[in-house]
Chain A
Amino acid sequence: MARNKFDVDEKLESSFSFDHIKRLARYLIPFKWLMFATIGLMLLTSVLNMLAPMITREAIDVRLPAGDKKGILVLGGIMVAIYLINAVIVKFRMVTLVKVGQSLVANLRRDIFKHLQILPFDFYDSRPHGKILVRVINYVNSINNLLTGGLINLITDLFTVVIILVLMFTLSLKLSLITLGGVFVFGGIIFAMKNKQRRVWQDYSAKQSNLNAYIHESICGIKVTQSFSREKENQRIFETQCENVRTSFMRAKIIDICNWPMVETISTITTCIVFLVGGADLLSGSGAITTGTLVAFVGYVNMFWTPVLSLCNYYNQLINTAAYLERIFEVMDTPATVEDLPGAVEMPPIKGDVDFRDVTFAYEEGVNILKGLSFSVDRGKTIAVVGPTGAGKTTIINLLSRFYDIQGGEILIDGENITRYTLRSLRSQVGVMLQDTFIFSGTVMDNIRYGRLDATDEEVISAAKTVCAHDFITTLENGYYTEVNERGSRLSVGQRQLISFARALLADPRILILDEATASIDTRTEQALQTGLARLLKGRTSFVIAHRLSTIRGADNIMFIDGGQIVESGTHEQLMAQKGRYYSLCTSQYELG
């Protein structure tokens, strides 16, 4: 599996496509009327703004020479009215843009998050978590303005450009064509730079993502770093990463910085040409152009370039954010490898018969972890799975919850293939206590209740009592209401295991899987715990992976796994009598000095 680490840029194969923009635009659909209204009002504002110079001209040309005080006051009144209307529109625009923009971002973020929930373990295992996080949080935030403020400006600017162009063409075809020539040159340059510009922004976003991944990992692994006194080395790596971000940003930004000066230079050149050509025409007296026309035309040329520049800025923004957008949609397009099959049904309550028939499985194509594994377990039995690390023990139980789909064979529960059922209904009945305990930030109570959300406090406490977690929890500062953070601060690994044990138990699973669930729990607690469990789990099938003999011994059946196959199987006594692999495994622990 191609894994990614913090200092490797993520590759992106897809090329820039407007499909991404179109896809994003779909998020605007719920707000289309609001957007139309805003655009309409913005066009009205542009028209109103064009009125202002006319009022001034009226004052200078007509009212002042006439000494018309009343007229001046009327004009002032009209201006006040225009500005007030303007203020209302500005406010409306701001309110709409924020509302639409924030909602759009929230909806997009919800979709990416929702998709994350169905992605396989692989997705999470093959890249630093910081790189996923940055997409959901930072990248989505950067989309905010693209389709709201940006889009509205785009439309009003286009509107302005078209109006001015029409006015220019009515004045002089020749001069208009010269101006348009400038626009084409400008457009050509922008277009030619498109790929380069896109690359530099992508590079920047990749570097940002690397930095984020490194920061995330640095915080999560800070205790290791401090205990290995690795601070200096990490600082060096971090500085390199910051430097990479900085240089890639500057490389991308320089293009942005040059944009406006480029527009201005081109616009000046066209104005100069307009002056020269228009001037020559005028002075040659051919009569094609009059002084008034030329003056008016130059006025329009000046007005013309501002919206062109904002169009160009918008295009830039599009290219920049496209780099983020691609990453977002990349996540949303990652297929979920394990999904409900069409026509999957709710699983009825599990009775507990488990059958593996000729199961073949590989995480990576060609490297089979399980090769034609078959076994069956009757309801209510306890199966211990033992074997060297990396033998495939965890894999077997992962398959039972259908965390992965198998390449060959069948897995049956109560005689039915598990793929017939919805993942939800299957997993909610199969309780797994994972090797990696994970504690969420929140109270101890919340953490245990994660197993069954509608459990009462009493039920939570009784689950904690069953796994012998009650005693230590009550000694915590606020007992069950003690806040723990996501790294489970202050709790020892054993305590964390007890909490996740209680969590698994509370879920009231029909099949319970304990994957080294008690490795870090002391023997005494474990014994007490098992006595409690034995009562509770009567009649339920359970799978136990463990290395401690005392944990394994009491199982109804022990499967010794190596190389993805069952090497030995039987009760403790049978296997000990066999004097095979299990026997030597036990005696190695028993070998007392």
Chain B
Amino acid sequence: MKTLKWLFSVYIRPYAGRMIFALCLTMLNTVLSNIRPYLSGRIIDDVFYNGMQNRLVTLVILMFLSIVLKDIFRIIDHYILEGTSQKVVYNIRVALYKSLHKLDFDFFDHNRTGDIMNRLSGDIDSVRHFVAWVLNGILENSCLFLSALFILGFINWQLTLCLLAVTPVIAFFAVAMGKRVGPAFRNARQKLSGLNTVVQENISGNRVVRAFAREDYELEKFDRANLEYRDANIASNRIGQRYIPILDTLANSLNVVVMVVGGIMVITKQMSPGEFVTFNTMSWALNTPMRNVGWLINDSLNAVASGEKIMEFTLERPRIHTEKEHVEKESFEGRVEFRDVSFSYGEEPVLDRVSFTAVPGQTVAIIGETGSGKSTLTNLICRFYDATEGQVLVDGIDVRQLNLRALRRSISIAMQDIFLFSDTIEGNIAYGVPDAPFERVVEAAKMADADGFIRGLPEGYDTIIGERGVGLSGGQKQRIALARAILKNPSILILDDTTSSVDMETEHYIQQTLKKFSAGRTTFIIAHRISAVKDADQILVMEKGRIAERGTHDELLALGGRYKEVYDTQYGNFDAEPVKGGVR
């Protein structure tokens, strides 16, 4: 009920006028549809049996006109209904998409792509069906039923009452069916999500599947999901299969009642034969709605189940958002300070009382073991997550007090896990600044040493690259991501392992250009190669969520700790024989 109320008040109300107009047309059409049989009857009675020949042409023209009129109404009616339902769907989709973009990283860490996609496609479609047809069907059938009831009640109320005796039984079965359809339908939708996920992962992970020759295993996994979905569908249909024939038979039983009770009433002179015939011809108007009630309930409940999912989604509130009372600040200098920052994903502690300060113009390098919290640290600056304890400050203000969009606009991050869009290379580089002139795109690409290889591609900057940048090598993807981050011209630049897959010469070149670029901004570089971090003003060595060592390259070498150890592994024996290691 809550779902329906939400659907009506938010999405259908704006189109209420249109919907009511369409529903009126529907009713008008129901009435008009009786005209043709009536006129047909008149032609036969008046012209052929009673010889009123002069009426033939008039009646024929009347019949023709009434049908044309009705058909025009019908087209308008359906056009409005379909059109409105499309608009409603459009609005729901747009709203869903909007709330999607507001949700926290955390949400996407916990929800599968397949599930989210289902909200935006399958679930929305069952709402569309509801708005376009079910609502209308409910009204049409009620009108039909009530008008028939009224007319028949007028002719003979005793027989009408007899007919009505069936209604409670029908209602009983219809409600029973409704109760059971919901869960079964939800189950089928869940199985569809599962299937969606299997197929989607198979497509995204196609390289891994091939590399391990796991096609058979994938097929097995798929078969399971596919058959589960099939069986869930069959099971959800089974409820209809049980109840629909019963409802059908009950509806049909009205004809028997008319025949037997009505027939006996005629014989006992309580009813005229003419009235009997009327009852007989009009009983369809009573039993058709009864027959449809099952389907209508079925489809309505499907829409409710889907609507629930959609509502859940739009009502999902991001934990990270701009506070009502925030500091209005559009441009940032880029001073970053961590004060005793701790962070954990659920139970797992990731950062443990981290403190440091970075001032504009400085480059801060972060080095440390896999999983030591390097990326998390930078994620907190962008406020992708909120610190569990302590404060993250940008320009001296707690990030939680800043306008989220303004903050993120002034930060560029080239993430470790590079995602490129299936768009042209130009479009990808200009992702953060869609209206950037072409020259600036090229300039950014040059700084990232990407211009050369891009121009070597068949269509240069207009080359469309596949989703996730498949088709490009790791180093090429990294350089495009770097250009993308540079183009945004941020106050704070974060490079998370951005040059790990580029060769050493290229890395060297990129470092030189970055040196110029980083003047006046704060740059964070996460890397594993000493060559990438050695020139930084400040190097943080992370270990298990803490800053274990900090200082410049020379200071850290002098310290002789972890950093020195890494340095030795990478360079120490440069001229000597390799001691051990090396993949053998």
Between A and B, 30 residue pairs with Cβ closer than 8 Å are A80-B253, A84-B249, A87-B248, A91-B241, A95-B241, A125-B471, A126-B471, A137-B199, A215-B97, A219-B108, A219-B116, A220-B468, A230-B432, A246-B87, A250-B83, A265-B67, A268-B67, A272-B60, A276-B57, A389-B453, A389-B502, A428-B212, A435-B501, A436-B468, A485-B111, A520-B528, A522-B369, A523-B569, A585-B505, A590-B531
**Chain A: minimal CB distance from B221 (Å):** 9
Complex contact A450–B206 (CB within 8 A): no
Tell yes or no: A212 within 8 A of B by CB.
yes
A residues 97-139 near B (Cβ < 8 Å) are 98-99, 102-103, 105-106, 109-110, 113-114, 116-118, 121, 124-130, 132-133, 136-138
Chain B residues with CB below 8 A from A121, complex form:
206-207, 210, 470
Chain B residues with CB below 8 A from A387, complex form:
503
Instruction: Tell me whether chain A's interface is mostly helix, strand or loop, or mixed.
Output: helix
Known contacts A217-B467, A450-B217, then 18 further A-B pairs from the complex at CB < 8 Å, ordered by chain A residue:
A3-B465, A64-B266, A76-B260, A91-B245, A109-B226, A110-B226, A126-B466, A220-B204, A224-B431, A250-B79, A268-B67, A475-B348, A485-B110, A519-B497, A519-B500, A544-B583, A548-B528, A584-B505
Chain A residues with CB below 8 A from B244, complex form:
90-91, 94
By Cβ-Cβ distance, the 4 closest A-B pairs, closest first, are A554-B582, A389-B475, A494-B370, A261-B71
**Chain A: minimal CB distance from B317 (Å):** 16
Task: Given A271-B40, A427-B210, A549-B570, answer yes or no on A116-B432 (Cβ-Cβ < 8 Å).
Answer: no
Contact with A238, one of B94, B108, B111, B474 (Cβ below 8 angstroms): B94
Chain B residues with CB below 8 A from A490, complex form:
109, 345
**Chain B: minimal CB distance from A104 (Å):** 10
Chain A residues with CB below 8 A from B110, complex form:
485, 489
Contact with B120, one of A215, A401, A434 (Cβ below 8 angstroms): A215
Task: Given A389-B503, A554-B581, answer yes or no on A220-B230 (Cβ-Cβ < 8 Å).
Answer: no
Complex contact A219–B566 (CB within 8 A): no
Complex contact B419–A223 (CB within 8 A): yes
Contact with A520, one of B200, B346, B500 (Cβ below 8 angstroms): B500
Name which of A161-169, A182-190, A529-537 contacts chain B.
A529-537
**Chain B: minimal CB distance from A2 (Å):** 9
Complex contact B583–A533 (CB within 8 A): yes
Chain B residues with CB below 8 A from A116, complex form:
202-203, 206
Tell yes or no: A314 within 8 A of B by CB.
no
**Chain B: minimal CB distance from A486 (Å):** 5
Contact with A382, one of B475, B484, B553, B584 (Cβ below 8 angstroms): B584
Complex contact B505–A388 (CB within 8 A): yes
Chain B residues with CB below 8 A from A438, complex form:
204-205, 207-208
Determine the residue in chain A with the shortest Cβ distance to B370: A494
**Chain B: minimal CB distance from A371 (Å):** 16
Chain A residues with CB below 8 A from B64, complex form:
268-269, 272
Chain B residues with CB below 8 A from A258, complex form:
75
Name which of A11-19, A66-74, A412-420 contacts chain B.
A66-74
CA A129 – CA B475 in complex, angstroms?
A: 22
Complex contact A589–B508 (CB within 8 A): yes
CA A227 – CA B90 in complex, angstroms?
A: 26
Interface mask (B191-223 → A, CB under 8 Å = 1, otherwise 0): 010011101111111111111111101110011
Interface size on B, residues (CB 8 A): 183
Interface mask (B547-584 → A, CB under 8 Å = 1, otherwise 0): 00000010000000010011001110010011011111
CA A550 – CA B347 in complex, angstroms?
A: 36
Complex contact B75–A434 (CB within 8 A): no
CA A275 – CA B505 in complex, angstroms?
A: 92
A residues 370-423 near B (Cβ < 8 Å) are 382, 386-390, 393-394, 401, 403, 423
Name which of B17-25, B46-54, B133-141 contacts chain A.
B46-54
Complex contact B535–A593 (CB within 8 A): yes
Task: Given A83-B252, A218-B97, answer yes or no on A530-B105 (Cβ-Cβ < 8 Å).
Answer: no
Tell yes or no: A145 within 8 A of B by CB.
no
Name which of B8-16, B328-336, B408-416 contacts chain A.
B408-416
Contact with B473, one of A246, A389, A550, A555 (Cβ below 8 angstroms): A389
Tell yes or no: A472 within 8 A of B by CB.
yes
Chain A residues with CB below 8 A from B93, complex form:
238, 242
CA A67 – CA B263 in complex, angstroms?
A: 9
Determine the residue in chain A with the shortest Cβ distance to B459: A3
Tell yes or no: B121 within 8 A of A by CB.
yes
Name which of A290-298, A321-329, A349-357 contacts chain B.
A290-298
Tell yes or no: A44 within 8 A of B by CB.
no
B residues 326-380 near A (Cβ < 8 Å) are 345-348, 367-372, 374-375
Tell yes or no: A4 within 8 A of B by CB.
yes
A residues 505-524 near B (Cβ < 8 Å) are 507, 514, 516, 519-524
CA A424 – CA B415 in complex, angstroms?
A: 35
**Chain B: minimal CB distance from A243 (Å):** 7
Tell yes or no: A498 within 8 A of B by CB.
yes
Size category of the A interface is 35 or more
Complex contact B63–A106 (CB within 8 A): no
A residues 430-479 near B (Cβ < 8 Å) are 431-432, 434-436, 438, 440-441, 450-451, 453, 472, 475-477
Complex contact A588–B504 (CB within 8 A): yes
Task: Given A133-B196, A235-B98, answer yes or no on A524-B86 (Cβ-Cβ < 8 Å).
Answer: no
CA A509 – CA B332 in complex, angstroms?
A: 53
**Chain B: minimal CB distance from A401 (Å):** 7
Complex contact A382–B582 (CB within 8 A): yes
- Of A69, A294, A520, A555, most buried by chain B (CB within 10 Å of CB) is A520
Chain B residues with CB below 8 A from A106, complex form:
226-227, 229-230
Complex contact B375–A492 (CB within 8 A): yes
Task: Given A79-B256, A550-B570, answer yes or no on A87-B246 (Cβ-Cβ < 8 Å).
Answer: yes
CA A519 – CA B466 in complex, angstroms?
A: 22
Chain A residues with CB below 8 A from B562, complex form:
524
Complex contact B199–A136 (CB within 8 A): yes
Complex contact B345–A86 (CB within 8 A): no
- Of B214, B223, B240, B584, most buried by chain A (CB within 10 Å of CB) is B584
Complex contact B241–A451 (CB within 8 A): no
Tell yes or no: B458 within 8 A of A by CB.
yes
Determine the residue in chain A with the shortest Cβ distance to B347: A477
Tell yes or no: A170 within 8 A of B by CB.
no
B residues 83-116 near A (Cβ < 8 Å) are 83, 86-87, 89-90, 93-94, 97-98, 100-103, 105, 108-113, 116
Tell yes or no: B384 within 8 A of A by CB.
yes
Complex contact B260–A489 (CB within 8 A): no
Name which of A20-28, A55-63, A195-203 contacts chain B.
A55-63
Chain B residues with CB below 8 A from A138, complex form:
121-122
Task: Given A242-B90, A367-B458, answer yes or no on A389-B501 (Cβ-Cβ < 8 Å).
Answer: yes
CA A60 – CA B470 in complex, angstroms?
A: 78
Chain A residues with CB below 8 A from B346, complex form:
477
Determine the residue in chain B with the shortest Cβ distance to A367: B458
Tell yes or no: A222 within 8 A of B by CB.
yes
Tell yes or no: B292 within 8 A of A by CB.
no
**Chain B: minimal CB distance from A366 (Å):** 10
CA A95 – CA B122 in complex, angstroms?
A: 24
CA A41 – CA B180 in complex, angstroms?
A: 29
Chain A residues with CB below 8 A from B156, complex form:
none
Chain B residues with CB below 8 A from A585, complex form:
503-505
**Chain A: minimal CB distance from B434 (Å):** 5
**Chain A: minimal CB distance from B377 (Å):** 12
Contact with A547, one of B248, B456, B500 (Cβ below 8 angstroms): B500
Chain A residues with CB below 8 A from B72, complex form:
261
Tell yes or no: A333 within 8 A of B by CB.
no
Interface mask (B400-425 → A, CB under 8 Å = 1, otherwise 0): 00000100110111011101011110
B residues 503-552 near A (Cβ < 8 Å) are 503-508, 528-529, 531, 534-535
Complex contact A547–B197 (CB within 8 A): no
- Of A138, A228, A551, most buried by chain B (CB within 10 Å of CB) is A228
Complex contact B212–A523 (CB within 8 A): no
Chain A residues with CB below 8 A from B79, complex form:
250, 254, 257
Determine the residue in chain A with the shortest Cβ distance to B227: A106
